[in-house]
Amino acid sequence: MNAIWVAVITPLVTFSLSIIGLAGFAAYAVFRLNSPQIIREKIWNAFVGDKDFNDEKLKSFSHHQLDLTRFRVVYGVQARSVADLHRLLSWMARHQFTPTDIKRARRWIDPSRNRPLNAPGKLHLTVRLVVVVIMIAGFMMVLDKATSSTTTMIRMRVSKTWLWSDGRSVVGIVGQAWRIDAQSCARHTLPDTSITGLTDAETAAICQGIPSGDLQTTVNEGLRYQRWSLAAISVFLFLAGIRTGLTLCFGMRARELAQQLSRATPTQANPRRARKKRAPSNDRRELA
């Protein structure tokens, strides 16, 4: 059916998903490392081969930066200097926190502060929980639509009219409700073109395409691209839900650590005045 054009995401977008995925992975790697230093050093080593600086100060500076990057990747804490790492390690030793505790609460830890832990509030965690529930519900709805849907959107090439079709009939989307199927075509009870927005040639093409199977072929092609698109959306919702859920769990762990700190910190009471010791009396009775 030359008069019908499938109104779905074009194959160019589908084929470009792999390129977008690679670019997204590279962007996430730079974001997680908080610096493209390692990537640049790998490129430098591949073309030049030198791994270290000759100058001792530059070599020490490079090693410190590698230590910072390794710490960011392994523990996820965004330390800005080696002094921040030393401060964080002292704080961990003072409160007997393990590296696992730091990794789970890393989002709310800032080593540059004297009090590194800044736990989220209950309202923040409640909002995160609501977002997780919405993402899970959206994922299930989109996945069900992608696997069980038999209708897709098509658009007429000349009139630019949008339609819903399952291959056996077409239904209008905007405006007054109308429907064209095999019975209405055979009985010549078609809706007026002022209601459908279609031209006479497009209406005739639809009536010819229903019994010949051309409309079903167009719908099947649209369903294929539609399922790919919905699958991509469902994967995005699934990954976003997992990330938000992990953030929620880490936030709850951060609140637990904050509660441990509040219980471990003694309340400062007003100092009591020390009682003065009674000085021994110098008057001693002399023995006769």
SS in 3 state form for the chain? CCCEEECCCCHHHHHCHHHHHHHHHHHHHHHHHCCCHHHHHHHHHHHCCCCCCCCHHHHHHHHHHHHHHHHHHHHCCCCCCHHHHHHHHHHHHHHCCCHHHHHHCHHHECCCCCCCECCCCHHHHHHHHHHHHHHHHHHHHHHHHHHHCCCEEEEECCCCCEEEECCCEEEECCCCCCEEEHHHHHHCCCCCHHHHCCCHHHHHHHHHHHHHCHHHHHHHHHHHHHHHHHHHHHHHHHHHHHHHHHHHHHHHHHHHHHHHHHHHCCCCCCCCCCCCCCCCCCCCCCCC
Q: pLDDT higher for 183 or 9?
A: 183
What integer pLDDT is reported at residue 269 of this predicted model?
Answer: 38
Are residues 13 and 143 located together in one domain of the fold? yes
Query: Cα(81)–Cα(102) distance, rounded to whole angstroms?
Result: 17
Please compute the mean of the pLDDT values over residues 121-125 and round it to a whole number. 90
What integer pLDDT is reported at residue 133 of this predicted model?
Answer: 95
Asked whether residue 130 is domain-assigned, the answer is yes
Number of domains present in the structure of the chain: 2
Kindly calculate the radius of gyration of the chain based on its CA atoms and give it in whole angstroms. 35
- Say what percent of the chain tops pLDDT 70: 74
Asked whether residue 272 is domain-assigned, the answer is no
What integer pLDDT is reported at residue 22 of this predicted model?
Answer: 67
Are residues 124 and 250 located together in one domain of the fold? yes
Query: Cα(165)–Cα(171) distance, rounded to whole angstroms?
Result: 6
Asked whether residue 265 is domain-assigned, the answer is no
Asked whether residue 285 is domain-assigned, the answer is no
Are residues 106 and 191 located together in one domain of the fold? no
Residue 14 confidence class, pLDDT cut points 50, 70, 90: low
Q: pLDDT higher for 13 or 56?
A: 56
Asked whether residue 183 is domain-assigned, the answer is yes
Q: pLDDT (tens digit, 9 = 90+) per residue, 128-150?
A: 999 999 999 999 999 888 888 88
Q: pLDDT (tens digit, 9 = 90+) per residue, 187-234?
A: 888 888 888 889 999 889 999 999 988 899 989 988 888 888 889 999
What integer pLDDT is reported at residue 57 of this predicted model?
Answer: 79
- In this prediction the pTM is 0.60
Query: Cα(106)–Cα(2) distance, rounded to whole angstroms?
Result: 58
Asked whether residue 270 is domain-assigned, the answer is no
Are residues 90 and 41 located together in one domain of the fold? yes
Q: What are phi and psi of 94, to 5 degrees?
A: -70, -35
Are residues 129 and 45 located together in one domain of the fold? no
Are residues 171 and 157 located together in one domain of the fold? yes
Asked whether residue 160 is domain-assigned, the answer is yes
Range of the domain at 111: 35-118
Residue 114 has pLDDT above 60, yes or no: yes
118, 151, 186 — which closes off a domain? 118
What integer pLDDT is reported at residue 25 of this predicted model?
Answer: 66
Are residues 176 and 63 located together in one domain of the fold? no
Are residues 249 and 136 located together in one domain of the fold? yes
Please compute the mean of the pLDDT values over residues 5-29 and round it to a whole number. 59
Q: pLDDT (tens digit, 9 = 90+) per residue, 35-69?
A: 566 666 666 666 656 666 677 777 787 778 788 87
Residue 285 has pLDDT above 80, yes or no: no
Are residues 51 and 146 located together in one domain of the fold? no
What integer pLDDT is reported at residue 39 of this predicted model?
Answer: 63
Query: Cα(272)–Cα(265) distance, rounded to whole angstroms?
Result: 19
Are residues 125 and 138 located together in one domain of the fold? yes
Please compute the mean of the pLDDT values over residues 71-90 and round it to a whole number. 84
Please compute the mean of the pLDDT values over residues 105-133 and round it to a whole number. 89
Asked whether residue 241 is domain-assigned, the answer is yes
